[in-house]
Chains A and B, each alone.
Chain A
Amino acid sequence: MIIKDIMPSFELFQPVQLRDAFALLDRFGKDSWKMAGGYDSLSWFKERAKKPKAVIDLSGIAEMKGIREIADGIEIGALTTLTEIERHPVIQAKYRLLADAAGKVASPQIRNAGTIGGNASQDARCWYYRSGLPCYRAGGTTCFADTPQGVNREHALFDSDRCVAVSQSDTAPALVALDAKFVVKSAKGERVIGSDEFFIGPKTDITRMTSLQHDEILTHIRISNAWAGARFYFEKVADRNTWDFPLVNVAAVLVVKDGVIENCRIACGGVSAMPRRLTAVEGIVKGQRVDEDIAKLAGQSATRGASPLNYNQFKIPLMANLVTRAVREARA
């Protein structure tokens, strides 16, 4: 029978070295679970939908914490809390977009414990999936959200493939817009990948939101100087002004010289399983003057190809308007 809202027992490990964490992952294999701030993990455990034998609490691994300047920008430990990111002077000065996004996540209490690594790679919040139903994403053979009567107000406009869940991270689109690199380590070594490789959709693997393998740990996120001090725009629209996931959010980086957009990266969350980079829109606005007309055109172009579900067509004007605002109102 089903019982919810009480965690099953598990063995808790609290390594302080990455290599010990890798050893534990190797020892327990699929029966282990990596946990950072715990907001995603504990909610799964409380649902009793995930019952790992061993929980590896990464929060004691010092080398995964903090923000440091490197030759070509900054390196952020994956365990750095969202509050630290929101308040960090270098991030505020050079990459305000990320500080803005981090400051919009959930609530102050959650930001104090939630980490950038966890927030960016968080699992889908589709309520069917989170209820523990055996959907595609949970390894089953059906989607409960995309049915003639499916209640899918929060679900995808784009790139659905059997699963219509979305990425509801606030920091992920900001990291995409800033062209962040993800440092992924395992016992075997290290790979540094771009957001296009880090975030994955259902077509690539329907059970995961990122390309992180079970034996791998996201240890750091790097942001290069290329976009430092550009014009930024982040906006999140949710039902409530705090403690809520985005319905749609937008993150934009624009390099503008003499009123002309020289370069830009724009991404939206809440519209597909990955933070959606709007490459077509970027192409349309590059070389154009920032004005109401091009901002409108950007918005209208952003939603081209959207396939709304039963209850989410409002996301089309919302996404269009947010992209328009991003182009119109991005500020240094």
Chain B
Amino acid sequence: MAYNLIGKNFVPSDVVAKVTGRAKYAEDFRADGMVFAKTLTSPIPHARIRRIDTSAALKIKGVLGILTADDVPQFPPPQPPILVKDEVFYVGEPILAVAAETEEIAAEAIEAIRIDFEQLPHVTDPLESLFPGGPNARSNGNVAAAQINLQTAKWEARDFAAAGDDKLPLGKPAEEWAYGDLDAGFKAAKLIIEESFVSSGLSHHSMETRSAFAYWQGGKCILHGSNQSHTAAVPNIARLIGIKPEDLVLVAEYCGGGFGSKIPGYPNMAIAALLSKKINRPVMHRISRIEEYGIGSARPGFQGHVKLGFRADGKMLAADLYIVQENGPHIGGGDFRSAGNALSIVYQPEAMRWRAVPVLTNTPPVGPQRGPGENQFVPIFEPMMDKAARELGIDRLAIRRLNAPDSSGKIGSDRGPLTSAFQKEGLDKAAAMFKWDERKARSGQRNGTKVTGIGIGQGYHSAGSNGFDGMVRITPDGKLHVHTGVGNLGTYSHAATARVAADMLNYAWDNVIVERGDTRRGLPWNSNQAGSLTASTQSRTMYVAALDAKQKLVEIAAQMLGGAPDDYDLGNEKVVAKADPTKSVTYAEAAKKAVELGGKFSGKEAPKDINPVTKQGLDMIAGSGLIGVAKDNLPRVGVTPGLTTTFAEIELDVETGKLRIIDMLCVADCGTVLHPQGLANQIRGGQVMGIGLAMFERHVYDPKLGLPASTLLYQSKPPTYLDVPPDIAWGAVDQADPQNPVGVKGVGEPVLGSGAAAITSAISDALGGHLFNRTPVSVDMILNFLSKRPQAHKPLQINTV
């Protein structure tokens, strides 16, 4: 089908506001009587709170009130608390909040508060906690995750003794799955690769910290927050505050970066809201960079082991993966599970076993970060694929192509289906654009002190969901209002998907208004803006809402001009009789008629199956135009995979250990391209973040003190302009996904993984195939290798370098 808008570039309406500074983020809002909050955070990695004395602080002039754990909703551990009650679990964990006329006064008050702590043993390395008698991050356990109850788990001393220092001990997992005949696979293998590895944890460090501003009006809480998602987050944020979802007004028009750390809202949003309620003043709670490090989430680190069996032609016969996840002190993330799925889909092993244990640590809470699990795993794994290719004497591209999924590929333990996969085509297209055949000859070439490395990386993330609602409105002025509750993470997919509705209704983009950012604008129930979901999931809801509007338009035309609805079709913003194009009703006229008719036409009657959140939004706009509203009941069977391939050429200076990325190119299998410029931006941003993961960013702790060393941006080292190639080339396979009405799949996450993996693969290539089995690969590691020194860290040590 030919589209007018889909597949074409456009300028999203909020771009100008962002580049001129007119865009208002959470901390830009003000209200009469506004005061400030600051939190007191733990200086100790693990302690019991014996007593808190706030008397001196409360006497300070300008101090208005203190919020403690007793004032906020409590959630069963290990769910993250808003404020901790009896036990603190990491340096930087919020204990209480002070409201004052100024932030300076609040800070002074916090310094005047006395807390009597009883220090408890702490741990920053999961293996230390799994060792018999090792410290637990919580007094009541050391293993927990979603669907894994908080428990104490210790491995056998024999597991550690058998493994030695260089290998991950393989103790009892908390979860496991397997398919196929693993032993037979390894037995039949020509080549076995077996490696232990470490993927360092790293902070999200979103540019906009998670500041929040809240006040109460007419029994409702008005909350200005920084969030990726919008309506999907409302129930959770309301739960955090302890109110009904309908009593929360969430204003979140812009989000200065979230990367997975701001999906369903987060505990500290409740502090401004509850403090405001307690002192009856609007409360601004600005979060500083150090505070953001503590509460801003992190990608969990992995300590892992993998054994792979390959047939002589490179086919992966068997894969055995074990992951110990550094899970922070609370519920943490599901990265360990996604890593297993990633292996199963990207390389399609004939038999596979996955085992994992998420271990709690006294480090900041972890959660999803752009490709959680998949993207820790591929940068470690792709250099191993290179090793397999070298040892089997086959081309590094060919081994990936052989194992890559097509649409008959399978995923996970249940070997579930995929909606579509064109990874072989993606590899081919990227190889052609990169001129793989020419470039691979440059592998290992020496030019003075520089040696060339060529890398290949692949990335995967599931990239589509369904079952949400779409809502559009044509007002009597003829404009199309696309109501979207998906949020504005910064990818502009909220706007790109709005164009699906516009296209279906034959609208010129200039006549479309995207309604979003404030629940008072009438927003439907949409997916989280996360998990590479928006493009695919929202294009479905937009499609069904547009179909509903279309049906109502032709019905109204039939009422106004006679005949049956089927006698009409949509023209340029008018409904036209198929038999006689001179007979038409403009959208504006139809909208006026819809208001007159009421009922389903103007949204006064709602479909039975829409979500209560959509119904609430609909009630706000009902009667103001012709409304298309529907639940996405379109079928979808299987996982919708977003897949990417990155190639990189680097030059590594053997005297300094520094590398320069000469070229980087990424091709996405993301179905129909919805918005080329948006896709290019996602790809480029993903490569840049991938460079950070591969080369620089990591958590660093003093293990004895439990203190963090990389709280500030200059210490955590996200890549700068001068660390990334000036131009990152991109392309798309552009094969429609058959289970999306416009063929779209998402791609926001895998681009990071393939980018990081291309860099680690290129470094390994430049160094003759050496496997560091660790990310980031930093200058010191390269220099130690080149000067034949042992690495400073033990092979499985985490959080120290």
Contacts and interface: CB of A to CB of B under 8 A. Distances in A.
A7 B709 CA distance: 20
B135 to A, nearest CB: 14
B735 interface: no
A318 B656 contact: yes
A151 B698 CA distance: 13
Interface of A: 1-9, 48, 107, 127-128, 131, 133, 144, 147, 149-151, 153, 235, 237, 239-245, 247, 310-314, 316-318, 321-322, 324-325
A153 B43 contact: no
Given A128-B702, A243-B714, A311-B792, A6 B656 contact: no
Given A127-B709, A241-B722, A1 B290 contact: no
A237 B43 contact: no
Closest 10 CB pairs of A and B: A5-B288, A241-B722, A317-B787, A314-B780, A321-B655, A5-B290, A314-B783, A311-B792, A3-B110, A127-B709
B289 interface: yes
A244 B779 CA distance: 13
A53 to B, nearest CB: 14
Main secondary structure of the interface of A (DSSP, over half): loop
Nearest to A126: B709
B657 interface: yes
B106 to A, nearest CB: 8
10 contacts: A2-B111, A5-B288, A9-B104, A151-B701, A239-B778, A240-B696, A241-B723, A311-B792, A313-B784, A314-B780
Contact of B720 (A149, A151, A153, A242): A242
Nearest to A131: B707
A48 B701 CA distance: 21
Contact of A239 (B112, B696, B704): B696
B780 A151 contact: no
B40 interface: yes
Contacts, number: 127
Given A8-B108, A314-B789, A242 B722 contact: yes
B719 interface: yes
B713 to A, nearest CB: 8
B107 A244 contact: no
A240 B716 CA distance: 11
Interface of B: 38, 40-41, 43, 103-104, 107-108, 110-115, 288-291, 655-658, 695-696, 700-705, 707, 709, 714-715, 717, 719-723, 778-781, 783-784, 786-787, 789, 792-793, 800-801
Nearest to B658: A237
B287 to A, nearest CB: 9
Contacts of A317: 783-784, 786-787, 789
Nearest to B707: A131
A293 B696 CA distance: 34
Given A1-B40, A4-B288, A322-B656, A312 B792 contact: yes
Contact of A240 (B290, B707, B722, B800): B722
Given A1-B111, A312-B792, A151 B700 contact: yes
Contacts of A240: 696, 717, 719-720, 722-723
Given A1-B113, A3-B38, A9-B104, A239 B720 contact: no
Main secondary structure of the interface of B (DSSP, over half): mixed
A5 B702 contact: no
A240 B115 CA distance: 40
Contacts of B720: 107, 240-243
A6 B115 contact: no
A149 B702 contact: yes
Nearest to A320: B787
Contacts of A4: 288, 290
Nearest to A236: B656
B230 to A, nearest CB: 29
Contacts of A2: 41, 43, 111
A278 to B, nearest CB: 17
B779 A247 contact: yes
B711 to A, nearest CB: 9
Given A1-B115, A312-B780, 9 more contacts: A1-B112, A1-B113, A6-B288, A48-B107, A237-B657, A239-B696, A240-B717, A240-B719, A314-B787
Contacts of B40: 1, 3
A133 B786 CA distance: 35
A5 B289 CA distance: 7
Nearest to A313: B789
B108 to A, nearest CB: 7
A185 B740 CA distance: 75
A222 B111 CA distance: 45
Contact of B104 (A1, A6, A245, A322): A6
A150 B701 CA distance: 9
B720 to A, nearest CB: 5
Given A1-B115, A240-B717, A313 B657 contact: no
A100 B801 CA distance: 30
A325 B655 contact: yes
Contacts of A316: 787, 789
A151 B787 CA distance: 21
A324 to B, nearest CB: 7
A4 B293 CA distance: 12
A153 B103 CA distance: 35
Given A127-B715, A242-B721, A314 B657 contact: yes
A6 B786 contact: no
A133 B702 CA distance: 13
Contacts of A9: 104
A107 B723 CA distance: 13
Nearest to A235: B656
Given A151-B801, A325-B655, A5 B291 contact: yes
B780 A153 contact: yes
A237 B40 CA distance: 38
A321 B289 contact: no
A240 B719 CA distance: 7
Contact of B792 (A3, A153, A325): A153
Contacts of A245: 714
A131 B701 CA distance: 12
B780 A311 contact: yes
A310 B792 contact: yes
Given A237-B657, A243-B720, A321-B656, A311 B801 contact: yes
B364 to A, nearest CB: 15
B104 A149 contact: no
A1 B106 CA distance: 12
A144 B703 CA distance: 11
A311 B110 CA distance: 36
Given A150-B702, A314-B780, A318-B783, A237 B113 contact: no
A1 B114 contact: yes
B42 to A, nearest CB: 9
Contacts of A3: 38, 40-41, 107, 110-111
A312 B778 CA distance: 12
A48 B104 CA distance: 11
A312 B781 CA distance: 10
B630 to A, nearest CB: 48
B707 A314 contact: no
A147 to B, nearest CB: 7
B704 A147 contact: yes
Nearest to B98: A3
B436 to A, nearest CB: 27
Contacts of A8: 104, 107-108
A310 B789 CA distance: 13
Nearest to A150: B702
A217 to B, nearest CB: 27
A1 B784 contact: no
A321 B781 CA distance: 15
Given A239-B717, A241-B723, A311 B709 contact: no
Contacts of A325: 655
Given A1-B43, A244-B717, A313-B784, A237 B779 contact: yes
A230 B394 CA distance: 53
Contact of B657 (A153, A241, A310, A318): A318
Contacts of B104: 6-9
